[in-house]
Amino acid sequence: MTEIKPFNSTEYMNHISLDCVIFGFNNNELKVLLLHLKYSKENTLPGGFLKYDETLEQAAQRIVKERTGLDNLFLKQFKVFSDPERSRSNKAVMDGIIAGTIPDPSFFENRFITVGFYALVDFLKVKPTPDFYSDHCDWVSLNTELSMLLDHKQIIQEAIVTLRLQLNQQPIGLKLLPEKFTMPELQKLYETILGRDLDRRNFQRKMLNYNILDKLQERKTGGAHKSPYLYSFNVERYQEALKDGLSGIW
């Protein structure tokens, strides 16, 4: 089990934080990984601060690995959140001070500009791990109404908007789906992200035209008599599509 270390503010830069929206896809639902704070009713995104000797990208990879146990993930910076009022009154800090769990409250009372990253992960491979200030770390459906810390609800919504835009420019699914999947399962992923239904024939034609899928000679078992064929992503062509982009609008 990963050791959960106390926070030491002297290791980190003032005024810069990171918040990571970690997406997973399970049972035809897009879910996000959230922390529940120990001494507050608030839920929060996995986040943290920038060490003096690391880049923002390295900090985001570190934070996501600490919460999921995974590394080398698809991780993308999507927006900076700089509202002067966003961290002016942090209820969780006050709750922590009262509980005696924050040794250096002056650090947390600073104004923080936060950089948003989103990650796409394999739901089944994640080992949700809380941090020092949270009692548990769980996958939560995007449709669940929760009390969220600061502007974290807005950060999630902005991540979803960015993810939808990515569908028009780059492929989605390599980290969210199992190694083998059906075309209906891939379509359901796209529909879940977009929030609307897609025409089955048009979807299949478009995905096959992208040339990032390999059709396998096996079908999905346990279904109807005419079980759908299984597909897998051609990783080399998928990576090329991530670099070169795709054409077309969903």
Q: From CA 55, how far away is CA 243, in angstroms rounded?
A: 22
Q: Tell me the sheet residues that pair with 74.
A: 120
Instruction: Return the CATH fold of 9-167.
Output: Nucleoside Triphosphate Pyrophosphohydrolase (3.90.79)
Strands (E), 55-120: 74-81, 113-120
The 10 Å CB-count burial string (b at 16+, else e) for 105-135 is eebbbeebebbbbbbbbbbeebebbbbebbe
Helix pair 152-167, 183-194: axis angle to 10 deg: 130
Residue 38 makes CB contacts below 8 A (sequence gap 6+) with 99, 101, 133, 134, 135
Residue 1 has pLDDT above 60, yes or no: no
Q: Tens digits of per-residue pLDDT, 39-48? A: 777 899 999 9
Confidence check: pLDDT of 97 > 60:
no
Identify the CA nearest to 34 among candidates 178, 145, 179, 158.
Answer: 145
List pLDDT tens digits, range 197-237. Answer: 999 999 999 999 999 999 999 998 876 567 899 999 999 99
Residue 172: predicted pLDDT:
93
How confident is the model at residue 3, as a pLDDT?
59
Structure confidence by residue, pLDDT tens digits, 81-91: 999 888 766 66
CB 100 within 8 A of CB 109: no
pTM: 0.88
Is 93 a residue whose pLDDT tops 70? no
Residue-range domain boundaries for the chain: 9-167, 181-244
Q: 182 CB contacts (<8 Å, ≥6 apart)?
A: 220, 228, 229, 230, 231
| In the predicted structure, residue 127 carries a pLDDT above the cut 70 | yes
Flag the least confident range among 9-13, 116-120, 212-216, 219-223. 219-223
Mean pLDDT (whole number) for 128-157: 92
> Are the C-beta atoms of 32 and 128 separated by less than 8 Å?
no
State the amino acid at position 237 in one-letter form: R
Mean pLDDT computed over 108-114: 86
Range 181-244 classified under CATH 1.10.10.10: yes
